[in-house]
Amino acid sequence: MTLYADLFIDWTRRHDPMFFSMADSAQAFLGRQPAIHASLGAGIRDPICVAG
């Protein structure tokens, strides 16, 4: 799990740095996870989001 977590954090910071900049603390970051997951899922399902 630690290896996965380290790789995930590195990848996410490179590809989606705004997810980290939107939270003032680790607790605030974790509190945003449902919204982050919903937005990522919507982008996969919605052809407009994928194209744009």
pTM value is 0.46
- The pLDDT value given to residue 19: 77
- The pLDDT value given to residue 42: 66
Q: What are phi and psi of 24, to 5 degrees?
A: -85, -15
State how many domains the chain has: 1
- The pLDDT value given to residue 47: 59
Q: What is the pLDDT of residues 1-52, one digit of tens each?
A: 888 889 988 988 898 888 778 888 888 888 888 887 787 766 666 556 554 4
Domain hosting residue 22, numbered range? 2-51
DSSP string, 13-52: HHH-THHHHT-SSHHHHHHTHHHHHHHHHHHHH-HHHHH-
- The pLDDT value given to residue 29: 81
- The pLDDT value given to residue 52: 47
